[in-house]
Amino acid sequence: MTKQVQIKYTQLFIDNEFVDAVNGRKFSTINPADGTVITEISEGDKADVNKAVEAAKRAFNRNSKWRTMNPYNRGQLMHKFADLVTRDLDYIATLEALDNGKTYTNAVEDIQGSIAVLRYHAGWCDKILGTTIPTGIHFSNCFRFVTLTRKEPVGIVGQIIPWNYPFMMLAWKWAPALATGCTLILKPAEQTPLTALYAAALAKEAGFPAGVINVIPGYGPTAGAAIAEHPEIHKVAFTGSTEVGRAIMVAAGKSNLKRVSLELGGKSPLVIFDDVDVKEAAKIAHNAIFANHGQNCCAGSRTFVHSKIYDEFVKHAKQLALDIKVGDPFDPKVNQGPQIDQEMFDKVIGLINSGKQQGAVVETGGNRQGEIGYFVQPTVFSKVTDDMRIAKEEIFGPVQAILKFETINEVIERANRTNYGLASGVITKDINKALEFAQAIEAGSVWINCYDVIIPQTPFGGFKQSGLGRELGEEGLKEYLEIKTISINVTKGN
């Protein structure tokens, strides 16, 4: 049932043109549903990043078309881009499902969410305001000052995005950069370059000036490292693993102390008290972990359930997992496609095996699904304890680990006993318990009686080793802005 689709763009996008990599090399992008090669993609590296930076520098020149553009018109360009994404939604979603393995239905939802992010940020373009500060008379009453601030774009931005939400992460990165007037170089994940290259073509069609948007497919140790280390890139924004996030911070420090924002890994707790509708709570917890095949940085991957309802909850969780239909991403009846590649498939299976070896009970799943492609059976573990690898390490797959707890103080302590702090959730009818949990948990997002509620105007980011900075909302814009203070001597006779 996999759709046949024409792949229109396979080259790098620099200065509003599609070009081959300087080194002439290419790499394969793979269909994870069957392991076949979709197409060959130009492989960018340091030389190509250098070219893209030169283009972005020209576009960021203070007299350039981009820098002198009325902010309202900048917003209209972003809306035009969003219009084109809307026009081509089916094609983009098809590319996404083919290249990533997520279901076509989920891909459509991702693109729709991306359009909302683009339009939200487009509305900010002419509303990024400075302030005036009442500084009064200074220096022995001799001088009177007026002080004001300006918010200015940080400059040339390097952006490195992951493979789990390829187009959505592009939108999360491009939207604030463009709204604030920055220019950018994006490196998509090597596993999923197709929708980023198509987005580049749409940006050109929308009318973005040359050099404002550049896309360099390639590998992390080459193209990604070149972005992190480049002395003329003023900021790097990264979504991915904590390990790579550390390397980016080191590179930023060694090069030019460029600003860094990071959205990294998670091992997020979802706590379910005994006063809930167990069946409904199981559905929330199910969606919290199995969405996007478990390939979600803020997935509710530690399900803490009160002992009084534990057995009943496990029964419902097991049935929900059994009801998942795994298979062809383009089949409308399918809920779960393949994992992204062999490496991630092996990691997920390895962690499942560790759960078995350490004494967790496999309620359902626990093995490979089929013989072709990177499919993993939806897996539910009960009798999980805090010391098991499946309770400590980010699995990034369709694996629910259900732990038992007795008291609110105990579960808060256990939930916080991790190096991560991206997200969290609590399900209870007791608002006092919910608020106590929300205040005590060390996480950037807390969802009460729901999970994974992320909308364009709500800030998103992590505590501890889950990242630095925020994306979305007004807070996300601040990551792309510098504040300049201007003081004016208005003393009479001056």
Taken in order of first residue, the domains within the chain and their CATH numbers are 12-264+467-484 (3.40.605.10), 269-455 (3.40.309.10)
Q: Say if residue 108's pLDDT is above 80.
A: yes
Tell me the angle at which helices 104-122 and 166-180 cross, rounded to the nearest 10 degrees.
10
Residue 1 pLDDT > 60: no
Q: What is the pLDDT of residue 491?
A: 85
Can you list the positions of beta strands (E) in 20-131?
A: 26-31, 36-42
Q: How far is CA 160 from the centre of its chain?
A: 10
Which range (53-62, 360-369, 469-478, 484-493) has the least confidence?
Answer: 484-493
Residue 400 to residue 299: CA distance in whole angstroms: 10
Residue 345 has pLDDT above 80, yes or no: yes
Active site residue 263: yes
For residue 170, pLDDT beyond 70: yes
What pLDDT is attached to residue 490? 86
Portion of the chain with pLDDT greater than 70, in percent: 98
- Which pLDDT band, with edges at 50, 70 and 90, does 143 fall under? confident
**pLDDT at 275 exceeding the cut of 60:** yes
3-state helix vs strand vs coil in the chain, percent to 5: 40, 25, 35
Task: Identify the pLDDT of residue 2.
Answer: 59
- Whether the per-residue pLDDT at 135 is higher than 90: the answer is no
Mean pLDDT of 330-359: 97
pLDDT at 151: 98
**Left, alpha or beta for 344 (phi > 0: left; psi -120 to 50: alpha)?**
alpha
**Each residue's pLDDT tens digit, 283-342:** 999 999 999 999 999 999 999 999 999 999 999 999 999 999 999 999 999 999 999 999
Beta carbons within 10 angstroms of residue 184's beta carbon: 25
C-alpha span between 255 and 252 (Å, rounded): 5
Q: Is the pLDDT of residue 3 over 90?
A: no
Q: How far apart are CA 233 and CA 155, in angstroms?
A: 8
Largest CA distance in the chain: 85
Q: Of 303, 259, 297, 291, which is closest to residue 465 (Cα–Cα)?
A: 297
| Closest residue by Cα to residue 196 from 210, 214, 221 | 214
Catalytic pick among 263, 363, 394, 471: 263
Main-chain phi, psi angles of 259, to 5 degrees = -65, 145
Reply yes or no on whether the pLDDT at 421 is more than 60. Answer: yes
pLDDT at 145: 86
Q: Report the C-alpha gap between 313 and 307 in whole angstroms.
A: 10
Residue 102, phi-psi category: left (phi > 0), alpha (psi -120 to 50), beta (remainder): beta
Q: What is the pLDDT of the chain when averaged over all its residues?
A: 96
**Looking at residue 33, what is its pLDDT?**
96
144 pLDDT band, cuts 50/70/90, is confident
Task: Please report where in the chains the tokens 């090399």 appear, as a residue.
Answer: 25
**Tens of pLDDT along 29-42?**
999 999 999 999 99
pLDDT at 140: 60
Token pair for 306:
């009160």
